[in-house]
Structure 1
């Protein structure tokens, strides 16, 4: 298919025969005319949000890390950064091997590389114990809850899954598996701590919101979509794993943040995603965090909050 659509790997072509969005087109090497302008519009929106690691200023973060965060808070943020560092690599691996996309996905791969560089830099800056740093850089093998996320990603984005299920799973990774981690860093922003980390979180959460939106858009353009029970099963499975991650990363109650509230937030985000897929709410939880009502998304309200109103 031409730019603005999706180009499939050879093993994906059989399932694409009845999907106009996925079918190869003789004009796929030519940019215009655009057959799916809404896809192109999202690509241009993503392009306008480009940023680099060099824009981040971490000079004040170490003082906050050493003097204003307690040991439990440092543990929490360390596990969050460890997940982030491994997650973007897994996302990129599956984008390249599974979706083989142009335009938006090509740009997304570049941005995921920037995200990965950012998280690696943050870990390298904050974690000065060489053994702990090495453990965090291999977190999918050394942290049980992150390993379960990695296994889920490989299972649902595997070649044996139909494209329509993989696109749902991809949105779940970007939406649900990042939700608690993003919220934890916005919690630091509310307290006026770690300005370099929190600014990077604003940029990355904006990017990931667009990636989630794009997956939802692709799903909406498919003629053959997963049954609602399949979508619910994918989301519920991911929510259970994300809740395990919260319990492991946040074993104690912190000021304004605890496992119960964070799990409630994860379920709130999951309901938004289910609604976006046309399924309807399953968990019926409210957003427990006032600081997640308004965050940076190109100057607009929080992606999940705005879409649920």
Structure 2
């Protein structure tokens, strides 16, 4: 049953040691520019209908995401509960803490900063995506509550320490993303950083237990939520390509380093057992993000060393097609809307 422990022990060499407390919140954001001319903040007045499209690539990402809609009822955890009975007390305690860690971290911050950022982006196509994103966050929260209720045996686990740890990420997001008085370019890049790095270690930790093959329902749920997270992260990267007044690469790197420190500290303080591979995984994801943002990788993590995370998607289409954003796509995308309302359709 100790699949996670064995997986983490097997590849712990070469991990950089990190300070027990993250060195964060020292860098101050730039102030917002009065009268910004950023494309994402410019929308035709009185535009109440989506067609003709002004930003086809953004809308296509919404369409792709919307096709993946799901509800928590699709997951069955009955077999998983039987597998839990095979754990000894130490394994069960570690498992419970792992579930609590990811559940609490996921539900603590994301919806608020997404909604706050969305208020600064009047582009109608983008607002469609943000609406999907907020709706799915609610479904994710419901699913995690179900996971917590069905899996966690020790419900006396204190959330006080988790709340304090998660408070660091909440403070960071409020400072860089949620504040409308911050420079829009920095807010957009901060959104990409937060969406792509926060929680990746927690997912990797909990998915490690699923490698035994005894938690198929849990694995399906986590894979599904993780894919939604990657879609959101890749969309945030796409938005950075629309920013004309971009922050410097050095400044974005500092954002990434701050978020990596917060995420790694959360893992170290909230989980039991070996964590070095998880810390390396966070750095791998951070380096991957830096490359997507056309910034030199910093941590030296060129490969994903956690085998069971290699099959998960870190290259969603939003990033791949970002270069086509200035094309006039109206006809192409209108022709390809496969679920458009048709008055002549047979019901």
Shorter-chain TM-score: what band?
0.7 to 0.9
Which residue does the alignment assign to 1:148? Answer: 168
- Contact 2:75 2:217 survives alignment (8 Å): yes
Which residue does the alignment assign to 2:248? Answer: 227
- Contact 1:89 1:112 survives alignment (8 Å): no
Q: Cα offset for 1:277?
A: 1.1
C-alpha deviations, 1:160-179, integer Å up to 9, x for none?
32222222222222211121
* Matched positions, count: 281
- RCO comparison, higher one (Cα < 8 Å, 6+): 2
Distance 1:143 1:124 in 2: 19
Question: Is 1:34 aligned to 2:53, yes or no?
Answer: yes
Which residue does the alignment assign to 1:206? Answer: 227
- More helix by percentage: 1
C-alpha deviations, 1:97-132, integer Å up to 9, x for none?
331361000011000000011111111222244433
- When structure 1 is superposed on structure 2, of 203-212 and 152-161 the one drifting more is 152-161
**Match of 2:178, SS?**
coil
Distance 2:100 2:155 in 1: 16
Question: Structure 1 unaligned runs (5+)?
Answer: 1-11, 254-258, 296-301
Q: Cα offset for 1:305?
A: 10
Distance 2:265 2:47 in 1: 43
In the TM superposition, 1:31-180 aligns within 5 A as 31-68=50-87, 71-72=90-91, 74-76=93-95, 78-100=97-119, 102-132=127-157, 135-136=158-159, 142-159=162-179, 160-180=181-201
Q: Cα offset for 1:80?
A: 4.5
Distance 1:15 1:107 in 2: 30
Aligned Cα root-mean-square deviation (Å)? 2.6
Question: Is 1:303 aligned to 2:314, yes or no?
Answer: yes
| TM-score after normalising by structure 2 | 0.73
| TM-score after normalising by structure 1 | 0.82
Which residue does the alignment assign to 2:278? Answer: 262
Distance 2:252 2:227 in 1: 24
**Match of 1:271, SS?**
helix
- Contact 1:185 1:197 survives alignment (8 Å): no
- Contact 1:78 1:123 survives alignment (8 Å): no
Distance 2:34 2:146 in 1: 41
Distance 2:35 2:93 in 1: 47
Distance 2:169 2:49 in 1: 38
- Contact 1:80 1:249 survives alignment (8 Å): no
